[in-house]
Amino acid sequence: MKKNLFFTVLLLPVLMVQTYAQSGKADKALLAKADATLQFAARQYKLMMTHVPDGVLPRTTDTKDGSLMTSNSGWWTSGFYPGTTWYLYEYTKDPAFKAEALKRMELVKKEQFNTHTHDLGFMMYCPFGNALRITKDTAYKSILLTSARSLSSRFNPTVGCIKSWDHGTWKFPVIIDNMMNLELLNWATRESGDPQFAKIARTHANTTIKNHFRPDYSSYHVVDYDPATGAVHERKTHQGAADSSAWSRGQAWGLYGYTMMYRDTKDKTYLEQARHIANYILNNPEMPADGVPYWDYDAPGIPNAPRDVSAAAVAASALLELSGYTNKADGKRYWNAAEKMLNSLCSPAYLAKEGENNDFILMHSVGSLPHKSEVDVPLTYADYYFVEALLRYKQWAK
């Protein structure tokens, strides 16, 4: 029964989005462009497979000398490269991608026991969740369940959230990014039957609605809590332009996270939150005409501020899914907005040339501009969510 429920939940957004797309609104030119871009992505990652040293994961480009920057398995982005190779294996059926995914997953596997990070959803669910979904190999279940237990250990019931960071002078920091890691917990409840995982996810999501969002549904990046009382200590930014600004990737994380929470729970509170965040993004007067946002919606220097392609990739993937959960008018708006973003990302303005860009697919992302880190470079997670969005578009637009 649990297995049937798992696959029902997994397939539901596909069926709903297809219902909308099959009404004849899919862009045939974009479908062709998506195929061409996925084929390019496969060729590009074939090159990357030969260039990334053994024992590490690709991360970005070094802004000092243009060389490939890699990470160890403990870095928060370690799961995206094997996750992307699983997506490319799913698309191409080329066993080289499966072999590469398995090879790099061996590096990441030990992170299932890591209780010092909130990023286990990114690190473990992106590669191992996709591996389970695509291969149906049940050996991945125990790894994911251990990962969910490790993530759950960071939950404080007084605060009602999972702690994000152990560094800095924060008391109990929670970042909007953490919404993305709740998918692992929802999966763990479906698989194990233990309701505690999903209860933690819902409590975290509810607390985040209460404390992370402003009246216009823009999000603070960091909310620091008093771990003894659960009271909000302060609301700050770490990667945004200012404490009061709307960091664009943070808005995308929230959009994706609450869309996912609605998919997994059918609680309309999460659907409404996702819709509000989507409307904030799409109605923002500082959203560029091509749908690829500046690194912060309140960034100084607009219109000459750097764009963040990763924010567009995450948002496009989320908007495609959200379009299937809403009324026809909103569904059309979200779908069309995702199409605009994907058309832009598939263009020469953002898509790398073959053999360049350290073999990453997309250019012009921003990691943390305030820290002068990863500014106007490719990022492994931008590629992951871009490939995911292209695959979703192809699947749901048929």
- Asked if residue 326 is part of any domain, the answer here is yes
What are 324-378's pLDDT values in tens digits? 999 999 999 999 999 999 999 999 999 999 999 999 999 999 999 999 999 999 9
DSSP for residue 232: E
- Active-site residue among 27, 177, 224, 359? 177
Positions of the chain with pLDDT under 50: 1-16, 18-19, 21-24
Residue 213's pLDDT is 98
Residue 122's pLDDT is 98
What are 69-114's pLDDT values in tens digits? 999 999 999 999 999 999 999 999 999 999 999 999 999 999 999 9
Residue 4's pLDDT is 36
* Domain, as residue range, for 333: 12-51+281-398
177 in active site: yes
Nearest to 184 by CA among 143, 218, 147: 147
- Asked if residue 126 is part of any domain, the answer here is no
Q: What is the spatial distance between Cα 133 and Cα 144, in angstroms, rounded to a whole number?
A: 12
Nearest to 347 by CA among 363, 360, 359: 363
- Asked if residue 162 is part of any domain, the answer here is no
- Asked if residue 83 is part of any domain, the answer here is no
Q: What is the spatial distance between Cα 20 and Cα 352, in angstroms, rounded to a whole number?
A: 31
- Asked if residue 227 is part of any domain, the answer here is no
Find out whether 272 and 206 touch, Cβ atoms under 8 Å.
no
119 in active site: yes
Domain tally for the chain? 1
Burial of 258 (0-12, 13-18, 19+ CB in 10 A): buried
Residue 398's pLDDT is 72
Kindly state the percentage of the chain with pLDDT values over 90. 92
Residue 26's pLDDT is 75
- Active-site residue among 27, 119, 296, 383? 119
Q: Helices 309-322 & 268-283, crossing angle to 10 degrees?
A: 130
Residue 17's pLDDT is 52
- Asked if residue 351 is part of any domain, the answer here is yes
- Asked if residue 388 is part of any domain, the answer here is yes
- Asked if residue 377 is part of any domain, the answer here is yes
Residue 280's pLDDT is 98
- What stretch of H or E contains 233? strand 232-236
Q: What is the spatial distance between Cα 103 and Cα 54, in angstroms, rounded to a whole number?
A: 9
The enclosing domain of 38 has a CATH number of: 1.50.10.10
Residue 1's pLDDT is 33
Burial of 106 (0-12, 13-18, 19+ CB in 10 A): exposed
